[in-house]
Structure 1
Amino acid sequence: MILGKIYKSFRLGIIYLNDFNQTVLKRLIAEKNLEFIPLFEAKPHVFVGRENPLTKKKSITLEDLEDYPYLSYEQGDTNSFYFSEEILSTLQSKKHIQISDRATIFNLMVGLNGYTISSGIISSELNDEKIVAIPLEIDDSMILGYLKNKKIDLSKIAKDYLELLKQHIRNYGFEIYE
């Protein structure tokens, strides 16, 4: 996500804020005349392939991850870790592979026993139940929400999307901020 390039024309964007990125992102959000509307809070989860040995654990520590490849999305020209799609993106790892698309990251989770760290919400419709989310034992959380331009009302399709998104989130047992 690069706020500087998209703020004028976009209608809706989904991001997270946490203790690490919120100061920088809130400043950029305000500068670009955007508004962040929180949806819910989530604890970090590790996404791994269903056959990964880590799936035998009820929760995972950072030490448990040391011998597995860390997978993250490539962030483009700015490559700022404040814009990372993965929480805890600045942690050091022995093996780190940057990916440019969802299909590849899922394939590497399965094929290489790689992992990434996210909210814990994953769609079985998108990954055919090959990926599972396991809670990460860490004192951190993420507030997930959406961005909108303060000067432009959301379109009907954006509002419909938000309602579907909220229902999907509720289906995972999260309470939506209203």
Structure 2
Amino acid sequence: MNLQQMRYVLAVAANGSFREAAKALYISQPSLSHGIKQLEQELDAPLFERTRQGTILTAAGQDFVASAQKIVQQVDHLQQHFTTTEAEQHYFSVAGQHYDFIALAVCQVLKQYSDYRYIRIFESTALEVIKDVEHYHSELGIIFLSDYNQSRLLRLFKQDELVYEELGVFQTHIFICTDHPLAKKATINLADLAPYPQVRFTQEASYPDLAEDPLEAPATGAVIATSDRATMSRIVARTDAYGSGSGILEAPEEQGLIMRPLQHSPKNRVIILRRQGHELSEIGQYFVTALRAYFASQHVSLFK
């Protein structure tokens, strides 16, 4: 058994097929199959089963993946730690879903740590943010946690040995154009929204419960789905459609938008994600402090 074979198994488990795993690893499918077959013979246990739905892990395969993930992660961490040059140590990366306040906090970091050669902001889906932190690409992850997605996310955190702390609790806000028929209302309820189309920001096509949009799709009425925030804002600013979000948006009026809190909003939380046992770097601590300062300044208008 070797590290390469572990990576082969993890790739097949992640991609759901030998073909896609081989593409992801940039190797031939026969080489991948041969490596896994040798491993299965050594373990005297099949790790995968081919079905109509794809390639799935056997019970032995599930046990193997759980252990192999930890080993591969630790090896990657050791390699990164001992092969990093002094210049590369001046590197900071944060992963997050699409929130304006992340960039605002990074601006504060840039002023304080002007000697850093590379600062990275990785914006993506909840699953990709988790993966980025888990694999040591980012020191911190910023994601949205709700009653709707909490069950799945907490299982992932435990599985990937990640911990989190709460930044703040926010009320779901509705985004509409400045001359929308609902613009004069101080708050909006679901019944108010029924006549209007909803614009949804969707990137987690396979996992609707992990969607970044805090408002579920309506049972009736038109839905416009987009994977681009700018497109969502442009549609809302020019039509009677509406969108939903945290309400944490820098200068919405400049985009032709106004925000109104949703009545009877569920509890939504913004959380900071990190690896279990990981002590934050000095720049990481400063970033978190900058985030908390911003949230504190917005507390009255945004949080319950």
Q: TM-score, normalised by structure 1?
A: 0.83
Q: SS where residue 167 of structure 2 aligns?
A: strand
Aligned length: 173
| Contact 1:40/1:174 (8 A) holds in 2 | no
For the structure 1 residues 8 and 113, does the alpha-carbon distance in structure 2 shift closer, same or farther, using more than 3 Å as the test? Answer: same
- How far apart in 1 are the matches of 2:233 and 2:131? 28
| Contact 2:202/2:213 (8 A) holds in 1 | no
For the structure 1 residues 34 and 174, does the alpha-carbon distance in structure 2 shift closer, same or farther, using more than 3 Å as the test? Answer: farther
| Contact 1:81/1:90 (8 A) holds in 2 | no
Instruction: Quote how far apart the aligned CAs of 1:168 are.
Output: 2.2
- How far apart in 2 are the matches of 1:46 and 1:98? 16
Match of 1:84 in 2: 211
Match of 2:258 in 1: 132
- How far apart in 1 are the matches of 2:181 and 2:140? 38
Bigger RCO of structures 1 and 2 (CA < 8 A, at least 6 apart): 1
Is 2:143 the partner of 1:15? yes
| Per-residue CA distance 1:60-113 (angstroms, 9 max, x = gap) | 11111112221122224x531221111132443411111222211111110123
Match of 2:127 in 1: 2
Is 2:194 the partner of 1:69? no
**Within 5 A, what are the aligned runs for 1:1-178?**
1-3=126-128, 5-6=131-132, 7-9=134-136, 10-76=138-204, 78-124=205-251, 128=254, 130-174=256-300
**Overall identity of the aligned pairs, in %:** 27
Instruction: Quote how far apart the aligned CAs of 1:15 are.
Output: 1.6
| Contact 2:217/2:223 (8 A) holds in 1 | no
- Structure 1 unaligned spans of 5+: none
Q: Which moved more, 1:31-40 or 1:82-91?
A: 82-91
Q: Which moved more, 1:94-103 or 1:150-159?
A: 150-159
Kindly provide the amino acid, as one letter, of the partner of residue 225 in structure 2: Q
| Contact 1:73/1:101 (8 A) holds in 2 | yes
Q: SS where residue 71 of structure 1 aligns?
A: strand
Kindly provide the amino acid, as one letter, of the partner of residue 219 in structure 2: Q
Q: SS where residue 173 of structure 1 aligns?
A: helix
- Structure 2 unaligned spans of 5+: 1-125
Please report the RMSD computed on the Cα atoms of aligned residues, expressed in angstroms: 2.3
For the structure 1 residues 80 and 127, does the alpha-carbon distance in structure 2 shift closer, same or farther, using more than 3 Å as the test? Answer: farther
Kindly provide the amino acid, as one letter, of the partner of residue 161 in structure 1: F
Q: TM-score, normalised by structure 2?
A: 0.51
| Contact 2:233/2:255 (8 A) holds in 1 | no
Kindly provide the amino acid, as one letter, of the partner of residue 153 in structure 2: L
- How far apart in 2 are the matches of 1:57 and 1:165? 30
| Contact 2:172/2:244 (8 A) holds in 1 | yes
Kindly provide the amino acid, as one letter, of the partner of residue 2 in structure 1: L
